[in-house]
Amino acid sequence: MSEIAPAEPWIVREVGAPVEEDGELLQGESIFALANGHVGLRGNLEEPHLGGMPGTFLNSLFEERDLQYPEEGYGFPERTQTIVNGPNGKRISLAVDGESFDLRTGEVRRHERVLDLRAGTLTREVEWVSPSGVALWLRTERLVSFVRPSVAAMRYSVRAEAELRIESDLVVDEELPSPREDDPRASAIFQDPFEPVSHDDDQLVCRTRRSNISVAAAVTHTGAEGTISSSPELIRWTTTGRGEITFEKFLAYHWPASDQAVTDRDVAARDGFDTLAAEQREYLDDFWAGADVEVDGDPDIQQAVRFGLFHVLQAGAQAGPHPIPAKGLTGNGYDGHTLWDTETYVLRMLTYTHPGCVGPALKWRHSTLGHARDRARELGLQGAAFPWRTISGPECSGYWPAGTAALHVNADIADAVLRYHAATGDDEFMREAGHELLTETANLWKSVAYTDDEGVAHIAGVTGPDEYTALMDDNIYTNLMAQQNLAAVGVELPLSLPYSERRRVHEQAAGFTRLPEWTFTDHDYPLMLSHHYLNLYRKQVVKQADLVLAMMTRSDAFTPDEKRRNFEYYEARTVRDSSLSAPIQAVLAAELGHLQLAHDYLAEAALLDLRGGGESGGDGLHIAACAGAWIALVMGFGGLRDHDGELSFGPRLPPGLQRLAFHLHWRGASLCVTVKRDSVTYTSDGEVTFRHEGKEVRVRAGEELTFAIDPVDDIPAPPSPRPPRRHTVSS
């Protein structure tokens, strides 16, 4: 069996051979996935292994399938899109004196994989003895280039006192495991989604059977002599020798298919693996210089936040004209769809750490405006109705109470536009895409909002972030975010913010506090797998942060005392059946002085996938939770808020941390914030104006400003039906 080794600051190390039991193999394939936003390679072992989930994911390479309903209804989406496994070039079979190299046979004396977060490479080292007693040493390295979007490369070296035979493949339509039948959230899996178009010894060209997307995949090998054979679904390079064989393998992909795949492959092969690795390191050095988060006192969180930053970068760096999916390119979870958490979580982090990713991601949303306008017309609305789930733009979710009714996705997109422009001053983006996105999203709210007889504005029949409370009136998160969206285009429309005088708290939606209470005797989470939504919708039970999210994104709309009462009330009703919840609860817990609770929630988000036990982590990482680790640290303990184009900070540390330092990109400058137990220091390489504890501050290039922090006593956590696991700092 394998395990993730104790935390190291810049690498993730797996010790031992992964096995199929308990999802260990699948989880490792997600953790050790490499991607650049354009091309993604799951962390599969090189040799074929039937227990894994092969994954070569090309952003927006999908197949279509019809959606089936027990009863048809007007406006129900007729088809959906599912990401497919593209041509796989990772597969390398090895035989030693005629015996196949397979970790399930023989003796594994050593097996170690290392994901290097600064180098952007995955390295594997194996010492294995075959069933007949031949000792073998194997080392592999792989990367997916941040600099060359279409290119991936591998270096493979094997040594044994035996006859060696290697078959290195580029294969289309390899066999995939069946989808999980015990989980309705499991994604569809297409067996044989491609039809061949052409092939030769250089590249395979194929096409998806229904969505009609053509793909060219090119491969070549250097460093050893070999023979090549090809067929419509396979290019195989074979080499033999005795003692030691080392070679490099280069892959390039283009979709729609073009000869550029061969050109990109040839240039990469000419330059060699070492050059690609040097480029990778240089790219990441630049990224970490402006994005790193330093955490003193908690090695697990230090490793996890860098792991999260790295995987969010991998999801967005070269996404370009395509979206950033909820699982990035690490797995087929959510069918490869993009959801609202891209704008609310992922782009929030990238805006301040790598803003070059954000403009293209929002331009992708803009490119799908035609679909969003069509959907609005279909729903009888104005403007644009952006989809709950999609790959190329059309709505792909048939579950309308928590999909179509979740109109807040429009305001989430508008919020991301406003944040990006405030942080970068990118006026060209606003001219090309931003203004139109703001206008069309606002037009939807104009057609949805209405004013009652008392002159109060409302939005009725929507679902907020909490998917256990559907089709309610005046969801506060939706109303506040829509209000902000409208104000951005010059429309002031104060929307209703329901409040219970009896409970002295805001209502997540109108009437929420009058619903029956949920009886928290059932610990079978997530609840939607054991309770019908009819029961969940009727009770005061919250799947994920909703009003609490509103208090973070629109902190200006609540007083400190309102935040305290609201947080305590909803903490007692939130079960966190979504990975999106813990980071937000961490932020508000930190702001309100529940510092140990905030640390516990931070750990839950940061370690969700990295330390196992993750919710369906085997089908890909939770990219929003990866961003959530940054959110919990920077917006929680760093106290960052970003309202109306202005930064503000109110930092504080929990008992388990001695120091927190982070960098933010802001209007061409890099601002560094260093928080200690009794002070905070701001430095910058350019002039930045912000607020510290409500007071306006200006820091100039090369200047260092330090302010004392008043000590904050940790306030005990309020009651919760599902408190986070207490996080203890490892030594």
Instruction: Check residue 180 and give its pLDDT.
Output: 65
Give the DSSP per-residue string, 277-311.
HHHHHHHHHHHHHHH-EEEES-HHHHHHHHHHHHH
The residue ranking higher by pLDDT, 730 or 103, is: 103
Q: With helix as H, strand as E and coil as C, how does 511-577 read? A: CHHHCCECCCCCCCCCHHHCCCHHHHHCCECECCCCHHHHHHHCHHHCCHHHHHHHHHHHHCCECCC
Cα separation of 166 and 180, whole Å? 33
Instruction: Please say whether the beta carbons of 608 and 620 come within 8 A.
Output: no
Q: Per-residue pLDDT averaged across 193-197, rounded?
A: 96
The residue ranking higher by pLDDT, 546 or 186, is: 546
pLDDT in tens, 589-614: 999 999 999 999 999 999 999 986 54
Cα separation of 290 and 301, whole Å? 19
Cα separation of 441 and 437, whole Å? 6
Q: Per-residue pLDDT averaged across 279-292, rounded?
A: 98
Cα separation of 247 and 224, whole Å? 6
Which strand (E) or helix (H) includes residue 276? Answer: helix 273-291
Instruction: Check residue 20 and give its pLDDT.
Output: 80
Cα separation of 47 and 236, whole Å? 14
Q: Which residues contact 379 (CB under 8 A, 6 or more apart)?
A: 75, 385, 404
Which tokens go with 411? 């305001």
Instruction: Please say whether the beta carbons of 561 and 553 come within 8 A.
Output: no
Instruction: Please say whether the beta carbons of 527 and 542 come within 8 A.
Output: no
Report the percent of the chain where pLDDT is more than 70. Answer: 97
Instruction: Check residue 184 and give its pLDDT.
Output: 59
pLDDT of 303 strictly over 80: yes
pLDDT in tens, 677-686: 999 999 999 9
Instruction: Please say whether the beta carbons of 411 and 485 come within 8 A.
Output: yes
CB-CB neighbours of 104 under 10 Å: 11
Instruction: Check residue 614 and give its pLDDT.
Output: 46
Which tokens go with 14? 């797996």
pLDDT of 181 strictly over 90: no
**Residue 580, CA distances (Å) to 326, 544, 603 in order:** 11, 7, 13
Which tokens go with 93? 């079979």
pLDDT in tens, 137-170: 999 999 999 999 999 999 999 999 999 999 999 9
Three-class SS state of 259: coil
HSE toward the beta carbon, residue 616, CA cutoff 13 A: 23
Round to the nearest angstrom and report the end-to-end CA distance of the chain: 24
Cα separation of 171 and 90, whole Å? 9
Backbone angles phi, psi at 529, to 5 degrees: -90, -10
Q: Per-residue pLDDT averaged across 306-333, rounded?
A: 96
Active-site residue set: 467
Cα separation of 477 and 324, whole Å? 23
Cα separation of 697 and 704, whole Å? 12
Instruction: Check residue 230 and give its pLDDT.
Output: 97
Instruction: Check residue 522 and give its pLDDT.
Output: 63
Q: Which residues contact 520 (CB under 8 A, 6 or more apart)?
A: 575, 721, 722
Instruction: Check residue 2 and give its pLDDT.
Output: 86
Strand 135-144 with 151-171, pairing: antiparallel
Instruction: Check residue 731 and give its pLDDT.
Output: 64
Which strand (E) or helix (H) includes residue 606? Answer: helix 595-606
Strand 688-692 with 646-649, pairing: parallel
* Confidence (pTM): 0.97
According to DSSP, the residues that pair with 94 across neighbouring strands are 166
pLDDT tier, 19 (very low <50, low <70, confident <90, very high otherwise): confident
**Residue 539, CA distances (Å) to 482, 530, 535, 571 in order:** 26, 15, 7, 15
Q: 184-193, 439-448, 459-468, 566-575 — which is least confidently predicted? A: 184-193
Q: Per-residue pLDDT averaged across 615-622, rounded?
A: 80
Residue of 541, 368, 365 whose CA lies nearest to 468 = 541
Cα separation of 476 and 529, whole Å? 27
Q: List, in order of start, the domains of the chain with CATH numbers.
A: 3-288 (2.70.98.40), 292-319+581-731 (2.60.420.10), 322-448 (no CATH), 450-574 (no CATH)
Backbone angles phi, psi at 108, to 5 degrees: -95, 105
State the average pLDDT for the chain: 95
Residue of 41, 236, 247 whose CA lies nearest to 152 = 41
pLDDT in tens, 317-328: 999 899 999 999
Cα separation of 127 and 107, whole Å? 9
Backbone angles phi, psi at 417, to 5 degrees: -60, -50
Q: Per-residue pLDDT averaged across 183-188, rounded?
A: 67
- DSSP structural state of residue 421: H
Three-class SS state of 617: helix
Q: Which residues contact 535 (CB under 8 A, 6 or more apart)?
A: none
Cα separation of 214 and 236, whole Å? 21
- DSSP structural state of residue 586: H
Secondary structure E strands in 105-222: 107-116, 121-129, 135-144, 151-171, 194-199, 203-208, 214-222
CA torsion angle 552 556 557 559 (round to 10): 90
Backbone angles phi, psi at 166, to 5 degrees: -120, 130
Report the percent of the chain where pLDDT is more than 90. Answer: 90
Burial state string for 233-259 with b = 16 or more CB within 10 A and e = fewer than 16 = bbbbbebeeeeebebbbbbbbbbebee
Three-class SS state of 32: coil
pLDDT in tens, 483-512: 999 999 999 999 999 999 999 999 999 999
Which strand (E) or helix (H) includes residue 660? Answer: strand 659-666
Three-class SS state of 223: coil
Instruction: Check residue 23 and give its pLDDT.
Output: 80
pLDDT of 81 strictly over 90: yes
Instruction: Check residue 176 and give its pLDDT.
Output: 81
**Residue 681, CA distances (Å) to 275, 489, 629, 663, 707 in order:** 39, 37, 22, 12, 7
Instruction: Check residue 156 and give its pLDDT.
Output: 98
pLDDT in tens, 242-280: 999 999 999 999 999 999 999 999 999 999 999 999 999
Cα separation of 355 and 117, whole Å? 19
pLDDT of 404 strictly over 90: yes
Secondary structure E strands in 459-518: 499-500, 505-506
Cα separation of 657 and 301, whole Å? 10
Give the DSSP per-residue string, 342-386.
IIIIIHHHHHHH-GGGHHHHHHHHHHTHHHHHHHHHHTT-SS---
